[in-house]
Amino acid sequence: MKDWLRLNSGPGEPAYNMALDEALLENAATLGRPVLRLYSWTQPCATFGYSQKIAQIEAATNLRPLIRRCTGGGLVPHDGDWTYSLTFPPGHEWTSSSATQSYRHTHALLQKAFAAMGVKTELADCCQRPKSGECFEGFELHDLLYHGKKIAGAAQRRNRFGLLIQGSVQPAGDWAWIDWRHCLGQDSSQLEDIPGARAHELAEAKYSMDEHNRKR
C-alpha cells in the first residue's frame, strides 16, 4: 500500500458520506492512485444497494435515514460499524480484475489488518445467501468471517472513472477502531486534496433527495 493514499475523514452526515465516496470515484483518474477512506457517521442510519427496492428496505430496518448507495449489495446498518471505501483509477490492476477477484482482494486486506491486531478471521469459501436482502444475514464467497459469522461485507461499482468499493465491518469483539484503522492504512500517505465541493453538491442534489433514495 505504499503508493496508496489515505483519507481519515471522521464522522459525516449520511448523505455526505455516500456523496464523498462517489466524488472520490469521479476524481480517481486525476489522483492516479488508490485511495483508502476511513470514516464514521454523525447519526445512526442505513445504506442499501443501488438495485434494491425501498419497500423491502423500509420493512427490514427501523434505522433512518435510508440512503441508496451507488454500489450494489444489501442493506447495511451504520450504528457503531467501522466504515471504509476504496477507489482505484482506470487501468489499475484492481479495476481491471473481476468483481470476484477485487472482492477477495478487499477482504484479504482487512484480514491482514485484523491479523496484525491478533484477531484471527477467515475468508468464506462458500455462500449462505440471505433471503431478506440484509448484508450481514448469511454471507457471500470471500466475505470475512469471525468464528463462522460474517463481520465484513462490501459492494462495488465500476465505470469510466474507475472502481469504487464501499465496505463495512461490524465489530464482534472488544476491538479498538483506532488500532484497526492504523493496521489497515499504515503504509499509505495522507490525501490532502479532497473533492469536498463536489461531495456537497452530490449530497444536496442526489443523496438527500427522495427521488434518488426511493426511485426503485
The pLDDT tens digits along the chain (216 residues) read: 779 999 999 999 999 999 999 999 999 999 999 999 999 999 999 999 999 999 999 999 999 999 999 999 999 999 999 999 999 999 999 999 999 999 999 999 999 999 999 999 999 887 666 656 676 666 777 899 999 899 999 999 999 999 999 999 998 878 888 888 888 888 799 998 999 999 999 999 999 999 999 986
pLDDT of 125 reads 82
Let me know if 22 is exposed, middle or buried by CB neighbors in 10 A (0-12, 13-18, 19+).
buried
Segments making up each domain of the chain, as ranges: 5-213
pLDDT of 129 reads 65
φ/ψ of residue 60, rounded to 5: -90, -20
pLDDT of 160 reads 96
Look at phi and psi of residue 175 and say left if phi exceeds 0, alpha if psi is from -120 to 50, else beta.
beta
pLDDT of 51 reads 94
pLDDT of 133 reads 66
Identity (one letter) of the amino acid at 42?
T
Nearest to 168 by CA among 15, 7, 3, 18: 18
> Are 34 and 88 a contacting pair, CB within 8 Å?
yes
pLDDT of 173 reads 76
Q: What is the pLDDT of residues 9-25, one digit of tens each?
A: 999 999 999 999 999 99
pLDDT of 89 reads 97
The CATH T-level fold of domain 5-213 is BirA Bifunctional Protein; domain 2 (3.30.930)
Is the torsion defined by CA of 141, 176, 166, 135 positive or negative? positive
pLDDT of 2 reads 74
> Are 123 and 104 a contacting pair, CB within 8 Å?
yes
First to last CA, the chain: 38
Nine cell digits for residue 133: 436482502
